Amino acid sequence: MEKSFVSAQIEFRSVTKLYGAIAAVKELSLTVHRGEFLTILGPSGSGKTTALMLLAGFVAPSEGDILIARKSVAAVPSYRRDQGIVFQSYALFPHLTVRRNLEFPLEMRGVKAAERAARVGRMLERVHLSELGDRMPSQLSGGQQQRVALARALIADPPILLLDEPLGALDRNLREQMQGEIKRLHKEFGKTTICVTHDQEEALTLSDRIVVMRAGQIEQIDTPEALYDRPATRFVASFLGEANILEEPGFKLELDAPQSAGTVAMIRPERVCIAAPAAPKRVDADRRQYVTGTVEDMIYAGSLRKYHVRVGGGVLVVREHVASGQQTFQFGEEVRLDWLRSDLRLVTR
């Protein structure tokens, strides 16, 4: 579902940040729309945090400019940029109660005590923490601390919210729960949000758009579905989900269109079907390629079953949803794989 955005709120114009000879961020150009949830995704060291710190004003660009609401913020110090920030480590004031932690940004802005108390009360309710207002951070679980950090970032009602690996310190279940919470808060408060993560699932779940970064540069920007379904490069294909890269597959790959130089074919594991060698073919067999191979490995993961199948010179990964009455295959068994030729993607090397 595409959202329509009123206008651009944040603009990076060819921003470079050098640390000595290393460009942590290189010629970054990016527009973020009002109300958008944009995720910066990339491996460790790809420049995600630096991009966020540039926007927050904690780091100054070596070259280029950043605009917020069409105005350069080059001369605006970080405390004036009116952004709520949440980091991976909770960074609550350990010596202040939850309530006092939330009051802090309001105090900094000169909000009077009675008004502060009222706003903190309302915010505690909205993030479902009303009973915990008088606790110290050390008396909260990791998830609760991160909820307080989110509430504190939102309480002064900044138009922009910056999140750097906000759920990185939480375990898997809690992380999923908090993803839901962040999504709900984004819907409810409608803040323009930039979230940094190296977790692809988190990026896919939360974002309107994802920016994939590699070595300080943008590799691709698009909606989660478009990025997953039509990755432009081999790097994006492999970083966002699992990909069968058919570089030298050891069999003749059938393609609907000629393959241009510098590209390699790719197919997602869930687009490959597995069956017994003699199983009847599908009605759309003329649009499919069939190959035979040998099962090298089967990994059972509850709702999913993953096969590694040796075909020709390489191994193809097949991912299948577990269903009733399904035939399963064991190590060493011969199987037939097939896929729609239209499910192949050509990505640049």
Q: How far is the CB of 15 from ligand ADP (least distance, A)?
A: 12
Residues 322 and 286 sit within 8 Å (Cβ to Cβ): no
Q: How far is the CB of 220 from ligand ADP (least distance, A)?
A: 16
Site for ligand ADP in 136-155 (CB under 6 A): none
Residue placing its CB nearer to Mg ion in the complex, 182 or 337? 182
Q: In a 10 Å sphere around its CB, with 0-12 CB exposed, 13-18 middle and 19+ buried, how is residue 91 labelled?
A: middle
| Tokens describing residue 144 | 């609760």
Residue placing its CB nearer to ligand ADP in the complex, 46 or 144? 46
Residue matched to tokens 């579902």: 1
Residue placing its CB nearer to ligand ADP in the complex, 211 or 274? 211
Among the listed residues 27, 45, 221, 314, the single contact to ligand ADP using CB under 6 A: 45
Q: Can residue 218 be called a binding residue for ligand ADP (CB under 6 A)?
A: no
Counted residue by residue, the chain has a size of 349
Task: Tell me 238's DSSP state.
Answer: H
| Tokens describing residue 41 | 């995704």
Residue placing its CB nearer to Mg ion in the complex, 49 or 200? 49
Among the listed residues 1, 6, 44, 302, the single contact to ligand ADP using CB under 6 A: 44
Among the listed residues 9, 10, 39, 49, the single contact to ligand ADP using CB under 6 A: 49
Residue placing its CB nearer to ligand ADP in the complex, 45 or 57? 45
Q: How far is the CB of 239 from ligand ADP (least distance, A)?
A: 12
Among the listed residues 9, 39, 50, 233, the single contact to ligand ADP using CB under 6 A: 50
Q: Which does 24 bind (CB under 5 to 8 A by kind): Mg ion, ligand ADP, none?
A: ligand ADP
**Dihedral Cα 224, 226, 232, 234, nearest 10 deg:** 50
Among the listed residues 26, 28, 41, 46, the single contact to ligand ADP using CB under 6 A: 46
Among the listed residues 32, 35, 42, 274, the single contact to ligand ADP using CB under 6 A: 42
Q: Which does 200 bind (CB under 5 to 8 A by kind): ligand ADP, Mg ion, none?
A: none
Query: Taking the CA of residue 166 as centre, how many other CA atoms within 13 Å lie in the half-sphere pointing to its CB?
Result: 35
How many residues interact with Mg ion (rule CB under 5 A)? 1
Residues 169 and 13 sit within 8 Å (Cβ to Cβ): no
d(CA 253, CA 258): 11
Selection from 325, 328, 279 nearest residue 305 by Cα? 328
Q: Can residue 88 be called a binding residue for Mg ion (CB under 5 A)?
A: no
Selection from 119, 118, 207 nearest residue 157 by Cα? 119
How many residues interact with ligand ADP (rule CB under 6 A)? 11
Binding track, positions 41-60, relative to Mg ion; x by CB under 5 A: --------x-----------
Residues 347 and 334 sit within 8 Å (Cβ to Cβ): no
Among the listed residues 47, 137, 166, 293, the single contact to ligand ADP using CB under 6 A: 47
Q: Can residue 39 be called a binding residue for Mg ion (CB under 5 A)?
A: no
Q: How far is the CB of 12 from ligand ADP (least distance, A)?
A: 14
| Tokens describing residue 288 | 């499919």
Among the listed residues 3, 7, 14, 19, the single contact to ligand ADP using CB under 6 A: 19
Task: Tell me 135's DSSP state.
Answer: S
DSSP character string of 180-236: HHHHHHHHHH--EEEEEES-HHHHHHH-SEEEEEETTEEEEEE-HHHHHHS-SBHHH
| Tokens describing residue 63 | 């070259």
Please name the amino acid found at residue 25.
V
Span from 46-54, 93-101, 168-176, 297-305 in contact with ligand ADP (CB under 6 A): 46-54
* Contacting residues toward ligand ADP, per CB under 6 A: 19, 22, 24, 42, 44-50
* Contacting residues toward Mg ion, per CB under 5 A: 49
